[in-house]
Amino acid sequence: MNGSGAVAGSGATPIAPGSISFKGLVVIGLQLVLVLLALRQFQIESGAFRTLAAIAFAGWLVHALLPLDWRLPFFAVLSLASIPLVLGTQNALWLIGIGAVLIGACHLPIAVRWRSILLLALGALLIAQRSSWLPVPWSEAIWPILGSMFMFRLIVYFYDLRHDRAPVTPAHAVGYFAMLPNACFPLFPVVDFKTWRRSHYAQDAEATYQRGVDWIARGILHLVLYRYFYYHLTLTPSEVDTPADLLQYLVANFMLYLRVSGLFHLVVGMLHLYGFHLPETHNRYLLASSFTDFWRRINIYWKDFMQKIFYFPAVFKLKRFGTNTAIVLATLWVFVLTWLLHSYQWFWLRGSWLLAWHDALFWTILGVLVVINSLIEIKRGRSRSLGQQAVSWRRVAMTVAKTYGIFWFICVLWSFWTAESIGDWLGMWSALGGAWSPQVLLFPALALLVIVLGSIPQSQPGKVQVARRNQPWHWRERLATLALLVAMIGISFEPVHRHAGPEYATVVHSLRSAHLSRLDNAKLERGYYEGLMSVDRFNSQLWEVYSRKPTNWLDVENAGLKRYVGGFAQTELVPLLISSTRHGQVSTNRWGLRDQHYEQSRPEGAFRAVMLGASSVMGWGVGDDETFEALIEKRFNAQPPVQGFTRFEILNFGIPGYQPPQQLLALERALKFEPQAVLFVATGREQTRSVAYMAEAVAKDLPVPEPALQSLLQRARVSPGMDETEAQRKLTPLGNEILQIVYHRIVERSRAAGAKPVWIFLPQVREGSWQEETPETLRTAQAAGFEIINLDSVYRGHDIATLRLAEWDDHPNRFGHRLVAEMILAKLDAAPQLLFDTPARR
């Protein structure tokens, strides 16, 4: 018999609670081997997770054979052991220690009121530490996982301790908070303590294990589908030009949620392997036919958490005003809290509060819609059935129509929520005035197909559950899971997917690895170029990278290096600054250059070059004498590359965040220093960044210095004060022309001032889509008349981790700067005429 008295196995032989036949053990075990293979083939999540999954599956085998009483303690110990495995021993000890204090506070033999006050005080202390207001002796790395384990579960746990009389053992407490595989996932479903505890072997063991495998397989499928949308279909608002683009944007943006549903399926599936017959976390949320239905289907654990902790208590407090009033007010209260708790969650994971007003607007709109829907349901009732409903095409058509409408409404609302700004979102809708093509039908047709297929009546939920309990095996699900796993593993093998053609092979190849999408890479690059590190939504995978970034990590934008000076350039370095950073000393001279002191006039007999560029040239992330500019200058003076000069000077005009058009102004400043050469250091995305800056200049109505650029703006029909996204969309087709103007002007002005213009291409440490622009940029530089020093192979053969400052900061580190300096010196040794007009020293 199973835990609830139902018959399992063949239906004839009663079996002890939690037991499983040898055959069942083998069948589940073999499926888990397939799951492991699928996880490996598709590189699902992190290496740590895959290791943990292998341990969890091996642990399952041991666990399934243990006496029932030992299984929960075994799960608790294994969960606890997973923490040092992922975070390292020292971090794990700190995390476990903090957790023990929090759990201990819940169990103190004092009044509930005092325990609540103590927990709030401990929470406040941790908030102060997470905000870096107070020092902490532990590593920053533990915060996201500590937050994930305790930020919501502690609330549920304490609530259940107060109201549920069932005794709580240490195994319950440890298993609930350390819960495998939480150590790998900062974003974790809010598992209800009471449900978790009650669900332990509440059903037939084999059925529970099988459901776990089914859900893990489904989770992998969600994650692979997510990758398809993430890598291949997501667009930025500025790329949305046509109605077809707009629909693609809306659908792809919403579909990124597959990552959350995929992860939650993995997590809860894994818990099933340890006997926890938990409810589903998502229920076919694309098929919601009303707003209340959507709220009930998407992230069900969250809905249940809010319902239990906030909604029901609020209704009971307010019911004296009438049931409907209480329901309306409590629903609105839940949505306000959902908004605030999302920010609270963001705080624990990222260390900053997420309080954007369009966030509030999103939750308000959704809350109001759910309230209206609830009132309609109270008045008219909701369609429910105890048995198999008769198929009525009219009913199906009505359901499809409602579901289709809700799907698109949610897509639009979701796009609003996840947009970086309201301006971005509003600007995107001008795409409706773009060219209409048959492609516009693609996503509406696909969505309709999915909804029609999903809406064809199957069985009625209540009936199904009763019926299924009496079925010995869930053969249909088991076969579906096996087929899914075999199919996924099959197509993941190169000979199989290559057989289907190069395009298909390319797509499958991309799905087989976890990496940042084109857009996230661009965002990271943007962070690299501009010091912008804003990733303020869970819809971008980049937030995970930034969740590992220490809160006190200094970035170029916030280092206090720059000051606002207005005009087209907007910023420059603060003169005479000395700052100690974790990367070494950063100091500027009286001219606001990150360099040693130089007179404005070139010394008699000296060779002088100026170097223009952004943060990498300035040397963000290395000490004063470690920039590649400083290293080259030092080497020139130690071993002069050419004859005829008493000394060599290279003046560093690098300014973080400077884009190519801004370099026109930097050049004018630099030419006052009488250089014989102008070294313009270009990096990836010269065109895109030029467009972005010109769009910013338009939006901010900055005075554009170059007449050719002014006339280009007129031609593009962009006007001062225009929305930046809209301006960017109009200027993008003219990206190369903008760059040509900038490059020609730099060459022309340099030559006029008697300086040789040299273009140095410095790649990023990370390979990425920025490389797409490089060939055209190189041609543009050559056509403009620069001497070319191409460093595109400078980082080749080196692991990115040895070159960059950190996972979230792609600036080259000391080693990176040394490589750059060595390659420039090697190229100049081989061809000194690139820089010097005088004979080489032999």
Which CB sits closer to another protein, 135 or 387?
A: 387
Strands 677-682 and 606-612: parallel
The distance of closest approach from Cβ of residue 35 to another protein in the complex, given in angstroms and rounded to an integer, is 27
CA dist 229 and 250 (Å) reads 11
The distance of closest approach from Cβ of residue 722 to another protein in the complex, given in angstroms and rounded to an integer, is 47
The distance of closest approach from Cβ of residue 76 to another protein in the complex, given in angstroms and rounded to an integer, is 23
Backbone angles phi, psi at 810, to 5 degrees: -85, 10
Three-state SS for 679? strand
The distance of closest approach from Cβ of residue 400 to another protein in the complex, given in angstroms and rounded to an integer, is 20
What angle is formed at CA 73 by the lines to CA 70 and CA 78, rounded to 5 degrees? Answer: 120
The distance of closest approach from Cβ of residue 309 to another protein in the complex, given in angstroms and rounded to an integer, is 9
- Cβ(674)–Cβ(601) below 8 Å: yes
Which CB sits closer to another protein, 303 or 749?
A: 303
Q: What is the largest CA-CA distance in the chain?
A: 103
Which CB sits closer to another protein, 335 or 591?
A: 335
Q: Go through 397-415 and write b for each residue having 16 or more CB atoms within 10 A of its CB, e for each that does not.
A: eebbebbbebbbebbbbbb
Nearest C-alpha neighbor of 6 from the set 158, 202, 173 = 202
Which CB sits closer to another protein, 165 or 717?
A: 165
Which CB sits closer to another protein, 286 or 747?
A: 286
The distance of closest approach from Cβ of residue 440 to another protein in the complex, given in angstroms and rounded to an integer, is 37
Which CB sits closer to another protein, 374 or 399?
A: 374
The distance of closest approach from Cβ of residue 584 to another protein in the complex, given in angstroms and rounded to an integer, is 58
Which CB sits closer to another protein, 423 or 457?
A: 457
- Cβ(608)–Cβ(667) below 8 Å: no
Which CB sits closer to another protein, 384 or 796?
A: 384
CA dist 263 and 387 (Å) reads 33
Q: Residues interacting with another protein, by CB under 8 A?
A: 159, 162-164, 194-195, 198, 279, 292, 296, 307-308, 311-313, 315-316, 319, 323, 327, 374, 377-378, 381-382, 384-387, 461-463, 465-466
CA dist 842 and 829 (Å) reads 10
The distance of closest approach from Cβ of residue 333 to another protein in the complex, given in angstroms and rounded to an integer, is 13
- Sequence-distant (≥ 6) Cβ neighbours of residue 210 within 8 angstroms: 28, 473, 474, 477, 478, 481
The distance of closest approach from Cβ of residue 316 to another protein in the complex, given in angstroms and rounded to an integer, is 5
Q: Go through 776-803 and write b for each residue having 16 or more CB atoms within 10 A of its CB, e for each that does not.
A: ebbebbeebebbebbbeebbeeeeeeeb
Which CB sits closer to another protein, 207 or 258?
A: 207
Quickly count: other Cβ atoms within 10 Å of residue 124's Cβ.
10
Specify which residues 563 forms β-bridges with.
572
Nearest C-alpha neighbor of 616 from the set 556, 541, 549, 539 = 556
Which CB sits closer to another protein, 313 or 705?
A: 313
The distance of closest approach from Cβ of residue 319 to another protein in the complex, given in angstroms and rounded to an integer, is 7
- Cβ(60)–Cβ(94) below 8 Å: no
Nearest C-alpha neighbor of 825 from the set 606, 619, 670, 629 = 629
The distance of closest approach from Cβ of residue 487 to another protein in the complex, given in angstroms and rounded to an integer, is 31
Q: Position 775: which residue type?
A: P
* Total residues belonging to the chain: 842
Which CB sits closer to another protein, 331 or 740?
A: 331
The distance of closest approach from Cβ of residue 564 to another protein in the complex, given in angstroms and rounded to an integer, is 52
- Cβ(159)–Cβ(81) below 8 Å: no
The distance of closest approach from Cβ of residue 345 to another protein in the complex, given in angstroms and rounded to an integer, is 22
Helix (H) or strand (E) holding 7: none
- Cβ(817)–Cβ(619) below 8 Å: yes
Which CB sits closer to another protein, 381 or 501?
A: 381
Q: Judging by beta carbons within 10 Å of its beta carbon (0-12, 13-18, 19+), is residue 606 exposed, middle or buried?
A: middle
CA dist 326 and 315 (Å) reads 5
Which CB sits closer to another protein, 137 or 387?
A: 387
CA dist 200 and 220 (Å) reads 24
